[in-house]
Chain A
Amino acid sequence: MMDSLYPVREGFSVAEQSAVVIANTAVNPEYRHLVVTAEPPATAALAGQFFHLLCPSSPDGNPFLRRPMSVYAVDAMRGRVEFLYKLMGAGTRGLAMLEPGDRLNMLGPLGKGFALDPAWKHIIVLGRGVGLATLAPLALMAERASVRVTAILSARRPDLVMSVDLFRARGAEVIVVNDADHSSEVGNVERLLRDLVARGRADAFFTCGSNRLLLLLQRLGNEHGIPGQVALEQQMACALGMCFCCVRDFHAPNGGVEHRRVCWEGPVFGLQEPLSW
């Protein structure tokens, strides 16, 4: 098999790169933070875009397909890309074995990322679980565009909430909710959101990681005419729009339902476009 990297030529917007692992550390019992070196075009990755990672084999198995992973942070100056990943199966458990100095074959940047409308002054970021990794780079993007952020971060337990410091460091107001004290229940999150809408803090909604929260935002967005964006996940093979593995259902412009590819038309879509699943 072809494990080594094939030389990339200039001028292509997506490339396979052999990154060097700088750090790969546990954030909590379920999540790990991976920092790798990166060159262009990888360092051009935008918030909401992702990489397709060739995960090493481990005692948990030999991942054949690549695994999609959102950009958690990019530092083009220092040539770094970061990921925040949850331990799931063979792929992510293989990633967890990587030590500093090891190589990681990554393909990217891929997909369509988030976009900020210059008219927006204040946005709401609502994320849960793995979705927080995808939403995190929005904090920096908004700061650079002088857009204020209120981040509602949801998790099963308080110790599993991530990115609180990252959002605060970028000037965001952070509200943490969790299942342990029931604050993450849809009713409570809805109350928080309605309050923010009433105070003029919701020019747009951004979300990832929960179908229930997507439904809630679609409802509130409809009610108040507030636009938004959602990042979706789906199993992938190619991540380049070729195989049609990664489709989900969307409202078609003519009123029906149509398939769109999460890797190609997304992973970021307009808030009202996807059907819930």
Chain B
Amino acid sequence: MVDLAVDIGGLRLANPVMPASGTFSDGLARVIDFNRLGAFVIKTVTRELRAGNPTPRVAETAGGMLNSIGIPSKGIDYFFDETLPFYKRFKPPLVVSISAPTADGFASLATELGVSGVAAIEANISCPNLEEDGRAFAMTPHATASVVARLRAATKLPLWVKLTPNTGDIADVARAAEANGADAVVVANTILAMSIDVATFRPRLGSVTGGLSGPAVKPVILRQVYQCARAVKIDIVGCGGIATGADAVEYMLAGASAVQIGTATFIHPTALIRVIDEIEEFCNHRGFSRISALTGALMRAGVDETDLEWRQEAGE
């Protein structure tokens, strides 16, 4: 028996595997057993009704996809009337992803979500900040610090902050989140990207640019998790291109305490369950009794190991 439980910024999860915001909804209950998930993370909720971006909203690329969904939202009332009661029927804790165009907007939404059934807030600060010329909050340590401080003052719930990979120094942004009261950082959202159809000379996405996700982003985001892990003490949730148990283990070795799975679910709707089974199998096989022992267990040549014998042992 492997102990798969993890503690993420004060929230206990039965296992470290959960869906990524925007890639999961009640529809998946037709295919998998929701009670097996470590947590639920729902599509980003905004206060106001939002339509989202023009179509086409999706385009495929080598080993991944671009999306320009935006954040269509049915608003906060729909969340309380429909979404919250639905997820209350299941065991895993509900993490609510939120977004707002201003720090005040984030704070008031977080306060309003302090109700039974909401286990944690995931602040999606990768969205445009109207007070900073529309640049995403998470692009600068400065904007991150101010929005996280407001959020911290506004809620007692565990506060996870989701970072954008589209920044020069993600470790500095993670530090700003930690210093202002974040309980965990989620690394990361999609990579800003685009694609053009050479037959028509048109962009493949209706809004020209969009976010890249899937296996193509994994090495980039893995590097960012590693950088954040060296910069902060708070928990890190790794998210980017994870499709298998081995991918999840890779993220944990780089410093993540839990993982989120997005695009892989579109290709194989059972991906979340499969990753849970595969990381358990991995631990059994490698003799780990607790999954949390993998976090940050990366071995760097000449730094973390005393000699090179480990290669043989690990490789069996």
Pair from one complex? yes
Find out whether the CB atom of A244 lies under 8 angstroms from the CB atom of B69.
yes
Find out whether the CB atom of A2 lies under 8 angstroms from the CB atom of B65.
no
The verdict on B296 contacting chain A, using a C-beta distance below 8 Å, is: no
Best-buried of B25, B32, B65, B266 by chain A (most CB within 10 Å):
B266
A243 to B69, CA, bound (A): 8
The verdict on A93 contacting chain B, using a C-beta distance below 8 Å, is: no
A6 to B264, CA, bound (A): 13
Could you tell me which residues of chain A, from 1 to 30, have a CB within 8 Å of some CB in chain B? 1-2, 6, 8-9, 12-16
- Interface-located stretch among A61-69, A141-149, A223-231: A61-69
Contacts of A12 in B (CB 8 A): 30-32
Contacts of A65 in B (CB 8 A): 58, 60, 65, 266-267
A242 to B244, CA, bound (A): 20
The verdict on B57 contacting chain A, using a C-beta distance below 8 Å, is: yes
Find out whether the CB atom of B57 lies under 8 angstroms from the CB atom of A264.
no
Once A2-B244, A2-B274, A65-B266 are accepted as A-B contacts, the answer to whether A13 and B57 lie under 8 Å apart by CB is: no
Interface 1/0 per residue, A212-245 and B, CB below 8 Å: 0000000000000000000000111110111111
A236 to B57, CA, bound (A): 9
Could you tell me the distance in whole angstroms from the C-beta of B127 to the nearest C-beta in chain A? Answer: 16
- Interface-located stretch among B48-56, B91-99, B166-174: B48-56
Query: What is the total number of residues of chain B having a CB less than 8 Å from a CB of chain A?
Result: 42
Contacts of A236 in B (CB 8 A): 58
Once A66-B267, A247-B55 are accepted as A-B contacts, the answer to whether A240 and B65 lie under 8 Å apart by CB is: no
Find out whether the CB atom of B27 lies under 8 angstroms from the CB atom of A241.
yes
A201 to B61, CA, bound (A): 48
The verdict on A54 contacting chain B, using a C-beta distance below 8 Å, is: yes
Find out whether the CB atom of B58 lies under 8 angstroms from the CB atom of A16.
no
The verdict on A251 contacting chain B, using a C-beta distance below 8 Å, is: no
Once A65-B267, A235-B55 are accepted as A-B contacts, the answer to whether A240 and B72 lie under 8 Å apart by CB is: no
Could you tell me the distance in whole angstroms from the C-beta of B26 to the nearest C-beta in chain A? Answer: 8
Interface 1/0 per residue, B24-56 and A, CB below 8 Å: 111110111100000000010000000110011
Contacts of A238 in B (CB 8 A): 23, 27, 265-266, 269
Once A2-B244, A243-B67 are accepted as A-B contacts, the answer to whether A66 and B266 lie under 8 Å apart by CB is: yes
Find out whether the CB atom of B274 lies under 8 angstroms from the CB atom of A234.
no
Find out whether the CB atom of B56 lies under 8 angstroms from the CB atom of A259.
no
Residue of A nearest to B70 (CB): A244
Interface 1/0 per residue, A120-138 and B, CB below 8 Å: 0000000000000000000
The verdict on B141 contacting chain A, using a C-beta distance below 8 Å, is: no
> Besides A9-B33, A14-B31, A242-B25, 16 other CB < 8 A contacts?
A2-B268, A6-B274, A13-B30, A14-B269, A16-B270, A63-B60, A64-B62, A64-B214, A65-B58, A234-B55, A241-B25, A241-B27, A242-B43, A242-B265, A245-B55, A264-B27
**Residues of A near any B CB (own CB < 8 A):** 1-2, 6, 8-9, 12-16, 54, 62-66, 107, 234-238, 240-245, 247-248, 259, 264
CB pairs A–B below 8 angstroms (17 shown): A2-B244, A16-B270, A64-B267, A65-B58, A234-B55, A236-B58, A237-B266, A238-B265, A240-B25, A240-B28, A240-B30, A241-B27, A242-B23, A245-B58, A247-B55, A247-B72, A259-B51
